């Protein structure tokens, strides 16, 4: 039997407390702890609320506690870090309930608890969506999502599904992850007409066929090659997928009269030093240049996503599992980070509020030192690992940027979302780009030179 302390004595705490007391052979609910002084001394399920965070060390020491469950759905990051540190000192497990928007009321809450992760320690305050507005925009609408099996694409599908669209077309080449997404949607949102479609955004006839057979109201274009070192080795693949693939999907969006197109972009598109970043900048320019009265085109740019496939956190996690040291390119390296759900919510809000032609950027706060990230992960894992510095890889920067010109940035109604005015207004000689793009695909123009020609700021 586990001795458990629940941190949080409000609605989340009551939800967890009720679940624990229903399994008396498995859990012994010892007490509640809460920072609200008005709750001190009260009893919930006949268990006392002993006090605030200050009492937790003595509670852990005196009651042979096995686990602390943080039952605050929108818990402050600093508080999580403090509780996590206290638990580590006493060798006590810690789990947290999901964010309020991520709780499935039909599932037992104890099944939804998750271990504290680095994303809980670096996560930003949640972007608050105007749910009433989005329900009005999405309900009974049809959506197409490319790259739907990826980290952002799949989360975007899960988030949008909450607002009752009539149909979701999910396109990706990753059949396994796409099938798992399909199973999830069918379990939780069975009323939605959901279609998994296996195929590449580079296949123009395939994309046209999908769009023709599935009239849509909005396209979220998430499909992209994002791995910097690999795209440095294979720049033609960066151009084929990120530039040509974007053009194919954007043109189909226009041809079949879809009302909105949202490109998912990256901070690596700013003053790019690698082919991946340059290809995404050109994808931004192509998308925004296609904006018209009939179809509103926009792009959403953000930094690194905590826990996404290929990002630094899964790599660090695997190294720790293998008992290896963590490798960091440079002690000075910093990156902007955000959570996967936050990224998806930003894309959704920007996509439905945009008037067309905007380049949206998230206010991501202060960049994070990768060294600090590595130290936190070592601490959370309890591993006896060190940090090794291995030097910058081809195309990597020490620091990433979010804007070309910080003086030309406008806030939107959501204080966390900004518009880069200068970049939204930048125009492209569209016909020339497409002619050159065809020559790259045919092997008659060097892909790296092509990117240099049309992204003058690129140093590749």
Domain residue ranges in the chain: 2-116, 131-454
| For residue 34, pLDDT beyond 90 | yes
What mean pLDDT, rounded, does the chain reach?
A: 87
Lowest mean pLDDT among 202-206, 242-246, 320-324, 440-444: 320-324
H-type alpha helices, 109-222: 118-122, 131-138, 151-161, 175-188, 204-213
148 confidence band (pLDDT: 50, 70, 90): very high
Q: Read off the pLDDT of residues 257-299 as tens digits, 9 standing for 90 and up.
A: 999 999 999 989 999 999 999 999 999 999 999 999 999 999 9
Q: Supply the pLDDT for residue 393.
A: 80
Equal fold, 2-116 vs 131-454: yes
CATH number of the domain located at residue range(s) 131-454 in this protein: 3.40.50.720
Report the percentage of the chain scoring pLDDT > 70.
90
CA distances from 69 to 22, 111, 433 (A): 16, 12, 55
Q: Supply the pLDDT for residue 284.
A: 95
| For residue 67, pLDDT beyond 80 | yes
Q: Supply the pLDDT for residue 338.
A: 76
Lowest mean pLDDT among 54-68, 237-251, 334-348: 334-348
Specify the CATH architecture of the domain 2-116: 3-Layer(aba) Sandwich (3.40)
Q: Supply the pLDDT for residue 294.
A: 94
Angstrom distance (rounded) from CA 255 to CA 290: 12
Instruction: Provide the greatest CA pair distance for the chain.
Output: 77
Return the C-alpha torsion angle 114, 371, 420, 158, nearest 10. -20
| For residue 313, pLDDT beyond 90 | no
Q: Which residue has the higher pLDDT, 338 or 96?
A: 96
Non-local CB neighbours of 198 within 8 Å, separated by 6+ positions: 172, 173, 175, 178
Lowest mean pLDDT among 228-237, 306-315, 358-367: 306-315
| For residue 120, pLDDT beyond 70 | no
Q: Supply the pLDDT for residue 29.
A: 96
Q: Which residue has the higher pLDDT, 341 or 271?
A: 271
| For residue 325, pLDDT beyond 70 | yes
| For residue 415, pLDDT beyond 80 | no
Task: Average the pLDDT over 2-20 and give the result.
Answer: 92
Task: Average the pLDDT over 182-193 and give the result.
Answer: 95
Q: Supply the pLDDT for residue 455.
A: 93
Q: At what angle do helices 275-289 and 430-441 cross, to 10 degrees?
A: 140
Task: Average the pLDDT over 231-239 and give the result.
Answer: 96
- SS3 state of residue 181: helix
Q: Supply the pLDDT for residue 373.
A: 83
| For residue 105, pLDDT beyond 80 | no
Angstrom distance (rounded) from CA 211 to CA 353: 23
302 confidence band (pLDDT: 50, 70, 90): confident
The pTM of this model reads: 0.76
Q: Which residue has the higher pLDDT, 427 or 32?
A: 32
Angstrom distance (rounded) from CA 303 to CA 372: 17
Active-site positions read: 268
């Amino acid at each position: 039997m586990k001795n458990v302390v629940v941190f949080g004595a409000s609605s989340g705490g009551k939800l967890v407390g009720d679940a624990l007391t229903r399994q008396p052979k498995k859990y012994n609910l010892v007490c509640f702890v809460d920072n609200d002084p008005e709750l001190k001394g009260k009893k919930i399920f006949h268990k006392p609320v002993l006090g605030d965070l200050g009492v937790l060390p003595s509670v852990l020491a005196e009651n042979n506690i096995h686990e602390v469950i943080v039952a605050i759905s929108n818990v402050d990051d600093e508080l999580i870090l403090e509780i996590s540190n206290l638990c580590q000192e006493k060798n006590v497990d810690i789990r947290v309930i999901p964010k309020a928007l991520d709780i499935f009321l039909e599932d037992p809450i104890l099944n939804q608890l998750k271990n504290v992760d680095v994303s809980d320690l670096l996560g930003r305050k949640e972007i608050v969506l105007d749910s009433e507005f989005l329900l009005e925009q999405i309900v009974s609408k049809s959506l197409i999502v490319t790259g739907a099996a990826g980290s952002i694409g799949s989360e975007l599908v899960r988030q949008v599904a909450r607002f009752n669209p009539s149909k979701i077309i999910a396109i990706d080449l990753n059949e396994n992850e796409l099938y798992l997404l399909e199973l999830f949607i069918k379990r939780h949102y069975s009323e939605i007409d959901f279609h998994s479609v296996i195929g590449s955004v580079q296949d123009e006839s395939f994309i046209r066929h999908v769009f023709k057979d599935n009239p849509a109201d909005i396209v979220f274009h998430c499909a992209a090659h994002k791995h910097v070192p690999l795209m440095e080795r294979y720049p033609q693949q960066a151009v084929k997928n990120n530039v040509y693939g974007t053009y194919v999907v954007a043109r189909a969006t226009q041809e079949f009269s879809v009302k909105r197109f949202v490109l998912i972009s990256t901070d690596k598109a700013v003053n790019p030093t690698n082919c991946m970043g340059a290809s995404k900048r050109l994808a931004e320019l192509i998308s925004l240049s296609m904006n018209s009265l009939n179809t509103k085109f926009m792009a959403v740019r953000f930094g690194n996503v905590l826990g996404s496939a290929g990002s630094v956190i899964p790599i660090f996690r695997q190294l720790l599992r293998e008992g290896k040291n963590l490798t960091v390119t440079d002690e000075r390296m910093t990156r902007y980070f955000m959570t996967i759900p936050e990224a998806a919510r930003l894309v959704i809000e920007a996509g439905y509020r945009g008037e067309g032609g905007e380049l949206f950027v998230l206010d991501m706060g202060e960049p994070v030192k990768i060294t600090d990230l590595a130290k936190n992960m070592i601490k959370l894992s309890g591993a006896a690992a060190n940090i090794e510095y291995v030097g910058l890889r081809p195309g990597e920067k020490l620091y990433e940027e979010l804007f070309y010109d910080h003086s030309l940035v406008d806030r939107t109604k959501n204080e966390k979302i900004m518009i880069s005015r200068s970049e939204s207004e930048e125009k492209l000689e569209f016909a020339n780009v497409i002619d050159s793009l065809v020559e790259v695909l045919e092997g008659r123009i060097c892909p790296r030179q092509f990117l240099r020609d049309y992204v003058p700021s690129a140093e590749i």
